[in-house]
Amino acid sequence: MIERYTLPEMGRVWSDAHKYELWCQVETLVVEAHAAAGTIPAEVVEPVRKAPPPTPERVDEIEAVTQHDVIAFLSAWADNTEPREAAAYVHFGMTSSDLLDTALAVQLVEATDILLDKADTLVGTLRDHALEHRGTLRVGRTHGIHGEPDVWGHRVADFAFAMARSRDRLRRAREAVGVMAISGAVGTYSNIDPAVERHVADRLGLRAADVSTQVVIRDGISEWVSALAIVATVCEAIALEVRHGQRTEVRELSEAFGKGQKGSSAMPHKKNPILSERICGMARIVRGQIVPVMEGIPLWHERDISHSSVERIALPDAAVATDYLLHLTNRLMSGLVVDAARMRANLDSTGGLIYTSTVLLELVEAGMSRDDQAYPLVQRAAMDTWRTGVPFRETLRSHAAEAGQRLDEDRLDEVCRPERFVERLGPVFDRLSALR
């Protein structure tokens, strides 16, 4: 992921320097376990433990010759070990995937914890914003067309619960990727005791795979990337709502616009939803990693490395992009400008057409047949309002008179009151208040 979208904490998780730190940690734990079991000399543990991780530059230099990253790492690390002979017992009984998959599991867990913290923050921001606007009337839209009265807080509450579910889904995926294996070539423990694997798993806070071949099968990692994609797509749903709300014809919502900020190089009047558009664009990047990572589940027999090149790109990109998306979406919602007056003006702009469903039911309750009388009457009046701009109650009154139908005006006043449509949302906001 390019630096523009990489936040420091997440960038550190996926840096080469940190990767080699983790590789050293895994290899040191294996050495400790072997020494405790008497498999290798105990005196090699301290020199290995003290050897500083090799620099990425040194590993790259050696890999240019060996064409093997793990061998390059072991050689570079051996150069840092005093006495160097102690390094002979590093990687004892292991295969490359033991190291790679175990360290990757640590990285995935570390990345997930960062994401979960940001998801918690965003859930709280959405919850508080929705509660603040539980009485902010706006029109609800279906197919982009005005439907019935609603409140802005109701719409945001939906996002808050969706993000909470996405966070919980990611928490479950954390368990799926916190899996390691140190089982040797083709996973048969032929040259390494399973007790070594258990020791490393315990020390790293991971779970040893129930079975591994030479790699940990990628269903868990695929689950993790899918969970990230859902988080990203919920962020996109929030951003899309803001983009629609900021359109000139709507003007109900707008992103914060700072002093000195400029919206267009050519049109000085522009205030564009740039954060929302960036969120929508970057969500595509995260979703785009699902299929390549999932295709790492089927490998040739016990192991090949067709998954490796994909994961070097896909996993950091998915994590970094999701981290940035959560940060950006929280920033968007924290500074969101809500124009309650404009929302109310838009709600009233169709002359009462948003009450047709309620009027229809009221006429049926008053004794009209739904299909033969009430629906045609309401629809004809509504179409007249669309065409002429005459308020719906007037066109309804006119068509009812023509049909010889009497309207209860007082009752219609009550059922066409916008606040009435949201009075039953109390339990929704009660549940939202308890959301954590």
Q: CA distances (Å), 87 to each of 44, 53, 56, 97, 292, in order?
A: 8, 13, 19, 19, 37
Q: Are 183 and 247 in contact (CB under 8 A)?
A: no
CA dihedral (14, 20, 22, 24) in degrees, to 10, reads 180
Q: Are 317 and 292 in contact (CB under 8 A)?
A: no
**CA within 13 Å, CB half, 158:** 10
Look at residues 121, 110, 128, 206 and name the one whose alpha carbon lies nearest to residue 167. Answer: 121
* Structure-token pair, residue 46: 């301290």
Written as one letter, the residue type at 401 is: A
Q: Which residues pair with 427 in a beta bridge?
A: none
| CA–CA–CA angle 206, 207, 211 (5° rounding) | 140
Instruction: Sort 415 into a burial class: Cβ within 10 Å, 0-12 / 13-18 / 19+.
Output: middle
Q: Which residues are catalytic?
A: 143, 264
Taking the C-alpha atoms of residue 144 and residue 421, their distance in angstroms, rounded to an integer, is: 19
Look at residues 164, 163, 153 and name the one whose alpha carbon lies nearest to residue 131. Answer: 153
Q: Which helix (H) or strand (E) holds 120?
A: helix 96-132
Q: What is the DSSP string of 215-281?
A: S--THHHHHHHHHHHHHHHHHHHHHHHHHHHTSTTT-SEE----TT--S-SS-TT----HHHHHHHH
Beta strands in 131-175 (DSSP E): 137-142, 145-151
